[in-house]
A and B are shown apart, each in its own frame.
Chain A
Amino acid sequence: MPLVQRELEPRYSGNVGREQQPEDWFAQRCRRTARERFSNQSISHIWMGTPQKFSTQTGGVVRQSRCDDFWGEVMSLQAITSNVLETQFAFHANRWHRDTRHTSSLTRMITHPSYLRIIGLGPDAVPLLLRELSQRPDHWLVALNAITGEDPADENATFSEALEAWLEWGRRRGYLA
C-alpha cells in the first residue's frame, strides 16, 4: 500500500455520529466532497482503496467508483490533515499543562484525559511529542514509552538525562532535526 494511502486511511474512514473532533472535521470534509462528486446524500463510510478506486458505503451497500479527480482533492486535504493532528495535539497538550501544572502526582498527570487522548493518537503523535519535549520539557516520557514501547534512557537516569535520551532517540530516527 503506498505510504500516502496508509497515512490517510485511518482518518479517511470517518464514522458518522462520533464526538466532534478535528479528525471528524476532516472526515466530514471528505464526506461532503464525496457527496458533491457522487451525488450521494447519505454516505456513512468512505475508504480509499487505490488512487483509482474509491469506496463509499450507503446503508449496507458498498460501492466502488473511479475517482481520479477525487484523489487529487484528497492529496490537497492531506496537507490539512497534518494541521488537524497538530491542532488536536496542541489542544490536548495545553489542556493537560493547565490542569496538571501544580500537581506532583505522576499518576494524576498520566491518567488525565488529554494525556490519554494524546497517547491514543498513536505513532503520528511521536514527532509532535518529541518537538514538544524539546521546546517545553515536561512529563511526556510515559506517553512516548506507551506509544513506542521504547525506553532509551539508562536505568538510573535522572529526568533530565532521560529527556535527553528521548531527544537523541528522536534525532536518530529522523523525528527531530
Chain B
Amino acid sequence: MGTPTRVLGLMYYPERDPELEEDCPGLLLTGYTIKSCKDPSYNCVAFALGDLTHYWYDVKVRGYYWPPGMPSADTVEGWTAVFAVHGYVETEDSGLEPDFEKVAIYVSAECPEHVARQIASGAWVSKMGKGYDIEHPTLEALESMRLGKLSKVMKRRCSGGRRVLE
C-alpha cells in the first residue's frame, strides 16, 4: 500500500488500493496489479484505444473529446459506435486470440460504465475511472455495483501485429 514512488528512475506503485477493492470486491479474489499513478486526464475509453491524453466524453466544455457524430457517451450505442469506428466488431469470445485485440464493455442500468482491454498475455488492463491503471486476470473481477456487469466484447485485428500501448 502507499503512494507511487520513484526510486533510481523506476516507478514503484502501491500493491493494493483499499478504495478500489471496496468498489470492486472481486479483485480481492483474483488479485490485480497497479500499473500507473492516479490520473484524471484520461478515462477507460481513451485507455482502451491507446490515448493517454484525452478524456473521452461528450460534454460541451473544453478539455473533453468525443468523436464527432457519435451517439451520446451515456449510451451503450455511443461506446459501441466509437469502438466500431476504430475497427472493432462484436464477438462472443472473450478468450485470447493472438492476432486480435479485444475490449470488454461493462454496463449498469443500461448505461456504459467501464471498458477493459485485453493484453497479449490474455489478462486485461483497465483505467479505473480517475484512478489507477490496473491489470486484472479476469473480466469478472470488475463486475460490481459500481461498474455493472460485463455486457459486450469487441475485437479487431492487431495493427501490424501489435496491440495499443504494447
Contact = CB atoms under 8 A, between A and B. Distances in A.
Interface residues of A, number: 29
A141 interface: yes
B115 to A, nearest CB: 8
Contacts of B61: 141-142, 145, 151, 162
Contacts of A153: 62-63
> What DSSP secondary structure best describes chain B's contact surface?
loop
A61 to B, nearest CB: 48
A104 B127 CA distance: 9
How big is the B interface, by class? 20 to 34
B119 interface: no
23 contacts: A98-B19, A100-B130, A101-B131, A102-B20, A102-B129, A102-B130, A102-B147, A103-B113, A104-B43, A104-B129, A105-B73, A105-B111, A106-B57, A106-B59, A138-B40, A139-B40, A141-B61, A153-B62, A158-B65, A159-B64, A160-B53, A162-B61, A162-B64
Interface in A106-127: 106-107, 110
B74 interface: yes
Interface string A30-52: 00000000000000000000000
Most A C-beta atoms less than 10 A away, residue of B45, B63, B131: B63
A100 to B, nearest CB: 7
